[in-house]
A and B are shown apart, each in its own frame.
Chain A
Amino acid sequence: MAQPYQPGKVRLPVQFAASAALVWQLLAASPAAADVALPAEGSAVAAPAGGETPRDLSKYKEESVPGGDLMILAYLVMWGLLGGFAVRMALRQGKLEREIASLQDRLDRGA
């Protein structure tokens, strides 16, 4: 069954993709990014080139934890979750509305 183009369905995901891109740009341009780019003092921790993941907590010094990385990760996860929920619901809503329309159509034709 051919579905007519319904503008309301497409807008929501696009809206969110656009705002996600904007957020990403903001994060990259913010002073936080400068903090990330700076080589941290404990470079063994900041860049685990040897591939070893440090288990010992004493290896982490307060200063050597890349705070900007943590912050960007936290924000990405946070908005990824909320945005993902919104996109999923918008997509589902589109599907549901198509189903409602087709059911209504069948009812109207039967009457």
Chain B
Amino acid sequence: MLTVSPSSATGAPLPSSAAPPAVGSVRNLNLALGFSTALVVGVLAWVMFVTPADTNLGIVQKIFYFHVGTAFGMLLCLVGASACAAIDLMSPSEPIDAAGRALTEVGLVCALAVLTSGPLWARKSWGTWWTWEPRLTLTLLVSLVALAVMILRDIAGDSAQGRKIANSLAVLAAPMAYLIHIAVQKWGGTHPQVLQGGGISSSDMRIAFWGSVAAVLAMCFSLAALRYRTLRSEGQIQLLRLELSARELRRNRKEAA
């Protein structure tokens, strides 16, 4: 994908590329984004106009569809990020590392969405903004860990050391998240007001539910691809800068000789 290889910095001729090298296909990415936006709008229209309101909870129950969708998205993104980190730690690879970073950030955005839509729903259905209910607690703690990984990576910069550090933490986060899950289950288990399933009672609701899950996952994929592309472009800029300064050095040496 990269048209400039590190070896070119050491004297090999650059590939003659007149057009700016593209990382991934811009058209495919726009297509994916357009598709997921259309899917989201369609499912949203279905949820608003076709799906009946829940008999017990009323209109607020419609938060549920996309709330669960973003929760799925968060889970998948963060698990994927952890896997990418593990792979990169064992055999370093730029694309895998960039994918891991992109997934971490998209997972974090999803976590924020879950953590705001959750309390809004809970306010109506449980009568309180927040309870230390297992799933809420788990989401909060896991998103804090993901936030730590992201901040660490940003602060440690693009050094090889910083990459290893952040990826180690991301690897550690996976089994820890499982332990946190067990712990908060035991801890918050005394609160019986967990609403199971959100009360899917009609086939319209089922369509809305799976449709919104699919829409959010498609959106997550597109966003991750978008972020992946910026990360790869940043890497490309670094290589180009390296190449430029190498040339300057060579020219200076030639002039001095």
Residues of A within 8 A of B (CB): 8, 11-12, 15-16, 19, 22-23, 26-27, 30-32, 35, 57, 60, 62, 65, 67-68, 70-71, 73-75, 77-79, 81-82, 85-86, 89-90, 92-93, 96-97, 99-101, 103-104, 106-108, 110-111
B117 at interface by CB-CB < 8 Å: yes
Which residues does chain B contribute within 8 Å of A35, judged by CB atoms? 58-59
Q: Is the CB of B57 within 8 A of A107?
A: no
Q: Quick one: CB contact mask for B24-61 with A, threshold 8 Å, 1 for yes?
A: 00100010011001001100110011000100011110
Closest Cβ neighbor of B111 among chain A residues: A81
> From DSSP, what is the main secondary structure of chain B's interface residues?
helix
14 contacts between A and B (CB under 8 A): A15-B33, A26-B44, A67-B124, A78-B67, A78-B113, A81-B113, A82-B109, A82-B110, A86-B33, A93-B226, A93-B230, A97-B233, A99-B237, A103-B241
Closest Cβ neighbor of B222 among chain A residues: A86
Q: Shortest Cβ distance from B74 into chain A, in angstroms?
A: 12
Beyond A74-B67, A86-B222, A103-B241, list 20 extra A-B contacts (CB 8 Å).
A8-B30, A15-B37, A30-B49, A35-B58, A67-B59, A67-B60, A70-B63, A70-B124, A74-B117, A81-B113, A81-B116, A82-B109, A82-B219, A89-B229, A93-B229, A100-B237, A103-B237, A103-B244, A104-B21, A104-B240
Which residues does chain A contribute within 8 Å of B181, judged by CB atoms? none
Q: Is the CB of A89 within 8 A of B226?
A: yes
Q: Shortest Cβ distance from B75 into chain A, in angstroms?
A: 16
Q: Is the CB of A19 within 8 A of B37?
A: yes
Which residues does chain B contribute within 8 Å of A16, judged by CB atoms? 37
Which residues does chain A contribute within 8 Å of B146, judged by CB atoms? none
Q: Is the CB of A74 within 8 A of B48?
A: no
Q: Is the CB of A85 within 8 A of B106?
A: yes
Q: Shortest Cβ distance from B192 into chain A, in angstroms?
A: 17
From known contacts A65-B124, A70-B123, A75-B63, infer whether A107 and B230 are also in contact, taking CB-CB under 8 Å. Answer: no
Q: Is the CB of A86 within 8 A of B124?
A: no
Q: Is the CB of A104 within 8 A of B26?
A: no
Q: Is the CB of B41 within 8 A of A32?
A: no
Bound Cα distance A68, B49 (Å)? 14
Bound Cα distance A14, B244 (Å)? 35
From known contacts A30-B48, A30-B49, A65-B124, infer whether A89 and B21 are also in contact, taking CB-CB under 8 Å. Answer: no
B209 at interface by CB-CB < 8 Å: no
Which residues does chain B contribute within 8 Å of A31, judged by CB atoms? 48-49, 53, 59
